[in-house]
Amino acid sequence: MTADPSQSAVEPIMTVRGLSKWFDDFQALDDISLDVNRSEVLCLIGPSGSGKSTLLRCLNFLERYQAGEVRKEGRLIGWQEGSASPRKPLRPAALREQRRHIGMVFQQFNLWPHFTARQNVAEALIQVQRLGRDEAYSRAEAALDKVNLGDKANNYPSGLSGGQQQRVAIARAIAMEPDIMLFDEPTSALDPELVGEVLAVMKQMAAEGMTMVVVTHEMGFAAHVADRVGFLESGRLVTCRPPADIFGSEPSDPRLRSFLQTYRERNVV
Amino acid sequence: MDFSFDVILRNMPYLLAGARWTLVLSLTGISLSVVLGVFICAARISAKGLLRRAAAVYISAFRGIPLLVQLLLFYYLLPEIGLDLPALAAAILAIGMCSAAYVAEILRGALQSIPAGQTEAAEALGIPPVALWRRILVPQALRLGLPSLVNELILLVKVSSLASVVGIGELTRVAQNITGQTYRPLEIYLAAAAVYFVINFTLSQLGRMAERRLRLD
Amino acid sequence: MKYDLFLRYGPALLRGFGVSLLCWIVGSLGGALLGFVIACLYRWSAWPVRWILQAYIEVIRGTPFMIQLFVLYYGGPYAGLVLSPIQSGIVSFVVYGSPYFAEIFRSGFEAIPKGQLEAARAIGIGEFAILRRIMLPQMMVLITAPLTNFVIILSKETAILSVVTVPELLYETQTMAAETFTFVEPFLALSLFYWLLVVVTAELGRRVETYAMRHLRRSASAT
Ligand SMILES: Nc1ncnc2c1ncn2[C@@H]1O[C@H](COP(=O)(O)OP(=O)(O)OP(=O)(O)O)[C@@H](O)[C@H]1O
Ligand SMILES: [Mg+2]
């Protein structure tokens, strides 16, 4: 399961080069370079405020990055190719075309409360892929089946548990058949007993070969499902290696060591 | 003093006929103001500075000038610039455009209570702005703003009485006409007040019912 | 622009503006006072009184100001109540505004935590002193904005008084328009008058609000 990135056969679907991001004067991301390989599960860990969400949100241009490049299958994300600095953002329609192939799942689910589960999943199929209502609904139901919610299609979000809501949000993203899925702490807003059902769905997706970038505090998931784990600290990608190297023997990097140390202490108590 | 219920009973059919026009004025007024209000609200929160300022001026102007003055302006001023509107159209336009300023602010408040994450989710899926507004933001804003919108409608039922000044035969105007013939202002105006009250009471009950039915839990 | 017309009608317009201001200010003060009394009665009396007050509030809020004005001005004499146009304007203003003011005060009362009142009673402070020294100062912070809002709404309703020939601003403007066959200039001037009034009142309201909030700011900076 652990793919070795040093092997040359792997092909990156997404490449990040020299990515930097400022909020006014504050630098949230500092010169990040990273490849995401096809069918790989890449987990991002790190202390709060280290820039994990910001990095993830740069990957689909929900945040504008000022320096560096994010490319998916060779195409620059968000900015017009070859435009001089200051770079020009893509036209909205072109940006939307890029985003529809990048799925995203949020910590707070962000379901639309006035739509049923089925409508939540079908909406983008209708508005973006221009499917007819019937076809959109049947594809929505198929996606809901995948996340084991086939029987909840008619529920409104308020009638679903947190774990179920998050699975609807996952179904909403996979119904678009994205090339890559981004998860921002998908289980952090959930009660502990609901975390498992969401992780199980994500594990299933990984087994089916979905490319996934997952920001998470679930070290168990990172250790067992990820192909590689990236550790962020103060906007810098400190290291990005197979989980065995991160969690196995005592890590050489002192910052990673102290992060894992505090994490273990917190979870023992 | 001799209070005569008989006068009221005999003239009630005319008052009710006038009340129909009161309803026409206020219902078309609120429809116009909701449609206009959505656009003004969109302009008010748009990223374009010019649109934002224009919307702010609109809101400030229509809320700062008495509706009766606006009504007279529409009625007398528009013909002077070559737009000869029938009185009914002028009244509906004045009521709707003034109310739109308030509706825009109601909707803005409602929109602000929709979590930004819902918009981000739509953007991440590539849903275009028009669909985002039409399918996700506006329906929710109307739902959240429903109690205020019903209040606005009740307000319009009341302010539509001003249309009597430009000769629209709505409830107040009819009451004036009847008074002119019967010399029974106390009875007739009290009766008109009762009709207004019944309309507004019914509307507020309907509003409460709709609110309960639209709740999502 | 026909400036000479404004010179000729200026005094009348100013007098009209004065009458508008008079009706507005006296009407607002009276309405606020009546509303306050209603809110207090509502708070400190038993259900039959409450029921009557609630009915009063609903009825007044459910009917147009113009109809209320007509009942008083045209209907009043038939019930033995003969008022001049200005008098009936002011009285109907007081009546019309009172339920809205009452609701604002009521929401203010309800916002004060019960524990504070119990604490005051426990150390023997009288009910009136509680109202004046504890409730009102805190309420002011919350109710200044809605009060300003409503007073602004009332300022615009003064225009309606022209319908019963109160010689207020709109009435004088219409007179001028009719006598001189000019419409645009007087009405634009009138709109400007009202708009200014609204802007100035809104600013005043903001100042009062800042003043009412001074204890909150001090305690915030002290911690
Ligand atoms: N919109 C913003 N404006 C200003 N600063 C921001 C903004 N968003 C994030 N930041 C800052 O950027 C830094 C990185 O934030 P980010 O949300 O990416 O952290 P994170 O690693 O996801 O943390 P957490 O684990 O708490 O979610 C933080 O210091 C944060 O305060
Ligand atoms: Mg985060």
For chain C, say whether B200 makes contact (Cβ under 8 Å): yes
CATH code at position B183: 1.10.3720.10
Q: What is the pLDDT of residue C216?
A: 67
How far, in whole angstroms, is CA A78 from its chain's centroid? 17
Q: Which two tokens stand for residue A188?
A: 């952090």
Q: Has residue A9 got a pLDDT over 60?
A: no
What are the helix (H) ranges across B45-162?
A: 49-64, 67-72, 78-80, 87-112, 116-125, 129-131, 138-144, 146-159
Element of type H or E holding A135: helix A133-146
The bound ligand whose nearest atom lies closest to the alpha carbon of A184 is 2
As a whole number, mean pLDDT of residues B72-86 equals 81
Instruction: Return the number of CB contacts < 8 Å for B and C.
Output: 103
Q: What is the pLDDT of residue B216?
A: 61
Percent of chain B with pLDDT over 90: 52
Name the band, by pLDDT with cuts 50, 70 and 90, for residue C10.
confident
Q: For residues B171, B91, B45 and C157, what is the CA-based torsion angle, rounded to 10 degrees? A: -60
Amino acid identity, position B133: W
As a whole number, mean pLDDT of residues A159-185 equals 94
CA distance A136 to A130: 9
**Number of domains within chain B:** 1
Is any atom of ligand 1 closer than 6 Å to the C-beta of A248? Answer: no
As a whole number, mean pLDDT of residues C16-25 equals 91
Closest to B128 (Cβ–Cβ): which among A62, A114, A127?
A127
Higher pLDDT, A243 or A1: A243
Answer for the pair A177, A131: CB distance below 8 angstroms, yes or no: no
CA distance A201 to B125: 20
Q: What is the pLDDT of residues B109-158, one digit of tens each?
A: 889 889 999 999 999 999 999 999 999 999 999 888 888 899 899 999 99
Instruction: Report chain B's C-alpha Rg in angstroms.
Output: 21
Q: What is the DSSP letter of B84?
A: -
Environment of ion ligand 2 (residues, CB < 5 A): A 53
Q: Which two tokens stand for residue A221?
A: 């998931």
CA distance A77 to B183: 78
Higher pLDDT, C6 or C119: C119
Q: What is the pLDDT of residue A2?
A: 47
Q: Which two tokens stand for residue B117?
A: 């994450």
As a whole number, mean pLDDT of residues C17-26 equals 91
Instruction: Report chain C's C-alpha Rg in angstroms.
Output: 21
Name the band, by pLDDT with cuts 50, 70 and 90, for residue B212.
confident
As a whole number, mean pLDDT of residues B45-65 equals 89
Q: What is the pLDDT of residues C106-136, one digit of tens each?
A: 888 888 887 888 888 888 787 788 888 888 8
Average pLDDT of every residue of chain A: 89
Look up the ipTM and state it.
0.86
| Chain B residue numbers touching A98 (CB-CB < 8 A) | 126
As a whole number, mean pLDDT of residues A46-70 equals 93
Name the band, by pLDDT with cuts 50, 70 and 90, for residue A1.
very low
Q: What is the pLDDT of residues C135-161, one digit of tens each?
A: 888 888 888 888 888 998 899 889 999
Q: What is the pLDDT of residue C173?
A: 87
The sheet that has A180-184: what strands, in order across it?
A102-105, A180-184, A211-215, A41-45, A228-233, A236-241
Please give the residue of chain B at the shortest CA–CA distance from A101: B125
CA of C115, closest CA in chain B: separation in Å? Answer: 31
As a whole number, mean pLDDT of residues A37-51 equals 93
Task: Provide DSSP, C91-154.
Answer: HHHHHHHHHHHHHHHHHHHHHS-HHHHHHHHHTT--HHHIIIIIIHHHHHHHHHHHHHHHHHHH
Q: What is the pLDDT of residues C66-95, one digit of tens each?
A: 999 999 999 988 888 888 999 999 999 999
Q: What is the pLDDT of residues C153-187, one digit of tens each?
A: 899 889 999 988 888 888 888 888 888 888 878 88
Instruction: Return the number of CB contacts < 8 Å for A and B.
Output: 75
Average pLDDT of every residue of chain C: 86
Q: What is the pLDDT of residue A8?
A: 46
Spell out the domain ranges in chain C: 4-222
Q: What is the pLDDT of residues A102-136, one digit of tens each?
A: 999 999 999 999 999 999 999 999 999 999 999 99
Closest to A106 (Cβ–Cβ): which among B121, B135, B216?
B121
How far, in Å, from the CA of B142 to the mean position of ligand 1?
33
Closest to B66 (Cβ–Cβ): which among C74, C156, C199?
C156
* Closest C-alpha to B95, from B23, B44, B2: B23
Q: Has residue C1 got a pLDDT over 70?
A: no
Question: For ligand 1, what atom is nearest to the CA of residue A107?
Answer: 27
Residue A240 β-bridge partners: A230
Kindly determine whether residue A113 and residue B131, on different chains, have CB atoms separated by under 8 Å.
no
How far, in whole angstroms, is CA C40 from its chain's centroid? 18
How far, in whole angstroms, is CA A220 from its chain's centroid? 17
How far, in Å, from the CA of A183 to the mean position of ligand 2?
10
CA distance B102 to B105: 5
As a whole number, mean pLDDT of residues A40-46 equals 94
The sheet that has A67-72: what strands, in order across it?
A26-37, A12-23, A67-72, A75-76
Q: Has residue C16 got a pLDDT over 80?
A: yes
CA distance A106 to A62: 12
Is any atom of ligand 1 closer than 6 Å to the C-beta of A23? Answer: yes
Q: What is the pLDDT of residue C222?
A: 41
Q: What is the pLDDT of residue A3?
A: 47
At the fourth CATH level, the homologous superfamily of domain C4-222 is MetI-like (1.10.3720.10)
Q: Enter the pTM of the model.
A: 0.83
Half-sphere exposure of C216 (CA within 13 A, CB side): 11
Q: Has residue A82 got a pLDDT over 90?
A: no
Q: What is the pLDDT of residue B147?
A: 86
Percent of chain B with pLDDT over 70: 99
**Residue B36 domain boundaries:** 5-216
Is any atom of ligand 1 closer than 6 Å to the C-beta of A51? Answer: yes
Q: Has residue A255 got a pLDDT over 50?
A: yes
